[in-house]
Amino acid sequence: MDSHPAHMLQLTFIGILIHVVIEIALIIRVMTHPHRDPASRIAWVTVILALPILGMLAYVLLGEASIGRRRVARVQEVLAAMPALADVKPGQMTNAQAQVPERYGHLFRVGQSISGFPVMGGNVAQLMEDSNATIDAMIADIDAASDHVHLLFYIWLPDHNGMKMVEALKRAALRGVTCRAMADDLGSRTMIRSPHWRAMQEAGVHVARALPIGNPLLRPLHGRIDLRNHRKILVIDGRITYCGSQNCADPEFLVKAKFAPWVDAVMRFEGPVVRQNQHLFAGDWMSYAQEDIHSVLEPFIDAPHAGFPAQVVGTGPTVRYSAMPEMFESLFHAARHELTISTPYFVPDESMHNALCAAAWRGVKTTIIFPARNDSWIVAGASRSYYGDLLRAGVEIHEYRGGLLHTKSLTLDGEMTLIGSANMDRRSFDLNYENNILFYAPDLTRAVRDRQQRYLAQSQPVTSDMVASWSLGKRLWNNTLAMLGPVL
């Protein structure tokens, strides 16, 4: 009669033992996993212990920034076979020589250590007026293309601007231009699963999905589902490239219309920096489309203008760990007079947060602009947990009221600019593939600063009194989200 309870007790003991063994194994994995900062280790150990089953499941699904062994091997194979950056056209080497003040030379060396691209002179650029003007300029350049169009977006929606891009690519392909269009499989799922994707293929556009999800239930077995290609790249005939924060969509951004308009900044570049963006695109394309396009990287680099020095900085889960925070921190530490930043998502690691505060403490006029209403309530709360420390250090914080400020821009001492796709959060640091361009050009930086001033004119300053007036519950909520930043 007593055998059944004894058997149940034995099964319970075995179940608990198995649970404890798995829990210990995961904790050991957390503590020994390479490239994990102490805060992240503490956060994950806490989650695993506090939520015995959900915590272990969360770590299995989200605990490690891996796109899967096969994909890592494919990316590494592609990058290893990539040709070196080509030589500049004979007679144009003088234009391509980078004239960089000594005080900024180390910044470009940091960038080169990340992507392998040297700083090169001979670049010219223009800051686009707004989102619609950006798409119109892109369409005009595509309509004028004679050889190839290479396009990569994280989000591509089948809205007004998205369809204008579809039709432009179809027109170009039908007249014999080689068009390659890649979109992230999660961010652009609406476009990829629409009839327009097939219509582009039928018109002759080569299409590819970056980081395809496949079966969502099985996807976690092959790497994290939320590791995404967040890059925004357009290269036309190897002569023109665009870089900035904008996705291929209307500023009304109908999928999140209540936060609209999305406010972005994009620059149109010509010069040697175009080839560097071409390299980034080619690496992504060959990793997923299984097409060898080395031939577009072989011609001499064109440097017809005596322009400014610039460099592409591409980061991602298969690039050096902590590359993007290192780039940001180097810029913070280099500031001597003024540092102005706009970013929609701000969840820094400790060293980056300290570097930003240090800039203000040493007397640099440090200004950062966030959106007042963020489409991510998690990021919004975590970002505000840092306001008190930033304000005490002397950082001026402003919240933009004219929509969702999506521009990722940094200007340094009125001379240097970093613009691109990378946010100042853990996702951009650890999980996303990003592309940015760093350049030294006082005149062009002035244009970016003017744009930042326009943002400030539509923003409300955040004061220490405002932060002090927050309720205990709000402070507790914000600090809890920040504490879980390494997990989220």
| Residues catalogued as catalytic | 230, 232, 237, 406, 408, 413
Which H or E element spans position 420? strand 416-420
Q: Which residues contact 394 (CB under 8 A, 6 or more apart)?
A: 360, 361, 366
> Burial of 291 by CB count in 10 Å (0-12 exposed, 13-18 middle, 19+ buried)?
exposed
Q: Are 346 and 376 in contact (CB under 8 A)?
A: no
Could you tell me if 313 and 437 are in contact, meaning their C-beta atoms sit under 8 angstroms apart? Answer: yes
Residues 6+ apart with CB under 8 A from 382: 346, 347, 478, 481, 482, 484, 485, 488
Q: Tell which residue, 241, 237, 229, has the closest CA to residue 314.
A: 229
**Would you say 345 and 376 are in contact if contact means Cβ atoms under 8 Å apart?**
yes
Long-range Cβ contact pairs of 8-17 (< 8 A, separation 24 or more) = none
| Sequence-ordered alpha helix ranges (H) in 88-244 | 93-96, 102-115, 131-143, 160-174, 189-192, 195-203
The CA-atom distances, in angstroms, between 75 and each of 87, 112, 224, 333, 364 are 25, 19, 16, 33, 41
Find the Cα–Cα–Cα–Cα dihedral 410, 412, 418, 423, rounded to 10°.
-30
Rounded Cα–Cα distance for residues 264 and 246 (Å)? 5
Token pair, residue 276, equals 């560097």
